[in-house]
């Protein structure tokens, strides 16, 4: 396994048959936690966070967390307060969803896409490939986002990530 353990605060209010976190857990690729207090601290993938994830946040750069934590809930209940989880909170930069529910939507990734994107940015591409390989559409996420993911991984800090992101937002 890679440098990061994957943890999910599992709310269970989304369609269980389409839930990517449950599928990851079935393959022992992520651990589900049904309560906030049992969810361990880590790098919390939070679209409302003030700072974007960058390689600077990764293990080996003097930091702190070797866990990635996502909140698996419906986008309807994914409000700022729902992300009250322990750790350092980071948003993902511009990436486009490839899953059948939200295909083509920027920033609104599902849980496996969020983990895969974060792992690529943190230099753990093999781990990301392993996750997406469990989903028929999974590799499309890495293909659709190939250029930004490679460019983000070459950045040093969040300011550089935002500069790269601007190139894609300008094209929108």
The string over 13-22, giving b where at least 16 C-beta atoms fall within 10 Å of a residue's C-beta and e elsewhere, is ebeeeebbbb
Q: How far is the CB of 161 from ligand SAM (least distance, A)?
A: 12
CA-CA-CA-CA torsion sign (139, 143, 149, 150): positive
* Contact assessment for residue 45 and residue 115, using Cβ atoms and an 8 Å cutoff: yes
27, 75, 159, 163: which one binds ligand SAM (CB under 6 A): 75
**DSSP single-letter state for residue 2:** -
Touching ligand SAM, residues 106-165 (CB under 6 A) = 107-111, 114
C-beta of 23 vs 125, nearer to ligand SAM = 23
C-beta of 39 vs 111, nearer to ligand SAM = 111
Window 77-106: contact mask with ligand SAM (x via CB under 6 A): -x------------xx--------------
Annotated binding site for S-adenosyl-L-methionine: 20, 71, 92, 111
C-beta of 19 vs 144, nearer to ligand SAM = 19
Q: What are phi and psi of 98, to 5 degrees?
A: -120, 0
Residue 26: CB atoms within 10 A of its CB come to: 11
29, 32, 45, 122: which one binds ligand SAM (CB under 6 A): 45
Give every strand in the sheet of 67-72, ordered side by side. 31-33, 5-10, 67-72, 42-45, 87-90
Which residues of this protein are in contact with ligand SAM, per CB under 6 A?
A: 14, 18-21, 45-47, 70-73, 75, 78, 91-92, 107-111, 114
């Amino acid at each position: 396994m890679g440098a990061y353990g994957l943890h999910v605060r599992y709310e269970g209010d989304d369609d269980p048959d389409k839930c990517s976190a449950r599928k990851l857990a079935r393959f022992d690729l992520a651990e589900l936690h049904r309560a906030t207090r049992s969810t361990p601290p880590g790098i919390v993938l939070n679209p409302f966070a003030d700072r974007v994830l960058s390689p600077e946040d990764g293990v080996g750069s003097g930091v702190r967390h070797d866990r990635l934590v996502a909140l698996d809930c419906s986008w309807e209940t994914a409000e700022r307060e729902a992300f009250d989880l322990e750790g350092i909170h980071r948003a993902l930069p511009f990436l486009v969803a490839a899953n059948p529910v939200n295909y083509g939507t920027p920033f609104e990734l599902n849980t496996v896409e969020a983990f895969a994107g974060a792992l690529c940015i943190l230099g753990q591409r093999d781990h990301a490939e392993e996750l997406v390989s469990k989903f028929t559409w999974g590799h499309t996420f890495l293909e659709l986002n190939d250029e930004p993911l490679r460019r983000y991984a070459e950045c040093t800090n969040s300011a550089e990530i935002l500069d790269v992101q601007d190139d894609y937002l300008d094209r929108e």
